Amino acid sequence: MEGMTSEASVTKLPECFSSVIPGWFSEISPMWPGEAHSLKVEKILFQGKSEYQNVIVFQSSTYGKVLVLDGVIQLTERDECAYQEMITHLPLCSIPNPKKVLVIGGGDGGVLREVSRHSSVERIDICEIDKMVVDVSKQFFPRVAVGFNDPRVTLHIGDGVAFLKAVPEGTYDAVIVDSSDPIGPAQELFEKPFFQSVAKALRPGGVVCTQAESIWLHMHIIEDIVANCRQIFKGAVNYAWTSVPTYPSGVIGFMLCTTEGPPVDFKHPINPIDLDDSHIKTKGPLKFYNSEMHSAAFSLPSFARKVIESKSD
């Protein structure tokens, strides 16, 4: 891979996506019209175009290195912990002794890093569609991509939808869907047939946690996700959220569901990772997640709770 440092070259991204104007990256997208979040750019470290998307890495002045896919920030070194830790430990700390875990997306390796903190886990499969994301993350974000070094991890480069369809019924204790927004290569990961495939791949009482957009920007998308999940998952169906400053609106949500089987109470974790320090030497300390944050994540503002609970009828 060769990095490109010319700012002029970066401004050739498609018109609807973000660009680097002199000294600044501004995140502009039809998914959040009328607003943009900007970060000061110290240096562009990499720019490439994979088979699926534009990939940029730049050094920011306040959030460390930043990974951008199709003009949308995926992670920054400073706040990635708030997303990676929550999307992983919300499901895995809600069930006893998870053993087999599947990650869809997550090519930066951050979710793998967090899953591998759980000593009960014996097998971690990851299916990422874009090999460039994996390679770039290993090169520029080694503290995130450290998850790929765990011997329990098997990487599959390919389409997550097709991978799930081929999975034998009841294979996994948990599925974590670390997707980008529902435009471009991740669109199918927000649709009903995909959730049906996830449910089939889970054991009875198995859990899924999927990236589920922002309550400030995407309640219409969240409504659809909740409605689909209530039809498909016969156990618990909950929405949680966390604070990630560099994501649009500063928050991101998660859909947490279980298949019919042993009951799961997502709001009261029973498998506390924050009391176990055996993983700290290789993965570093937890920076964001703890049991109190876990339970608090399910407390919703009134406007969001009203919409989400209305879908339970």
Tens of pLDDT along the chain (313 residues)? 333 333 333 444 433 345 556 689 999 888 888 998 899 999 999 999 999 999 999 999 999 999 999 889 999 999 999 999 999 999 999 999 999 999 999 999 999 999 999 999 999 999 999 999 999 999 999 999 999 999 999 999 999 989 999 999 999 999 999 986 655 545 555 678 889 999 999 999 999 999 999 999 999 889 988 999 999 999 999 999 999 999 999 999 999 999 999 999 999 999 999 777 878 888 889 999 999 999 999 999 999 999 998 865 4
Residue with tokens 């089939």: 200
Please give the pLDDT value at position 183.
Answer: 54
Q: Which segments of the chain are extended strands (E)?
A: 19-21, 24-27, 37-49, 54-60, 65-69, 72-76, 100-105, 123-128, 153-157, 172-178, 202-211, 237-243, 251-258
For 44, other C-beta atoms within 10 Å of its C-beta total 19
Model pTM score: 0.90
pLDDT tens digits along 107-146: 999 999 999 999 999 999 999 999 999 999 999 999 999 9
Please give the pLDDT value at position 17.
Answer: 41
Please give the pLDDT value at position 15.
Answer: 39
pLDDT tens digits along 41-72: 999 999 999 999 999 999 999 999 999 998 89
Please give the pLDDT value at position 19.
Answer: 58
Please give the pLDDT value at position 67.
Answer: 97
Question: Does 125 participate in catalysis according to the annotation?
Answer: no
Distance CA 239, CA 279 (A): 28
Percentage, residues of the chain above pLDDT 90: 74
CA dihedral 104, 109, 114, 120 (to 10 degrees): 70
In order of start, what are the domains of the chain with their CATH numbers? 24-75 (2.30.140.10), 79-309 (3.40.50.150)
Residue 224, C-beta contacts closer than 8 angstroms, at least 6 positions apart: 190
Residue with tokens 């993983």: 279
- Catalytic residue of the set 178, 224, 274, 313: 178
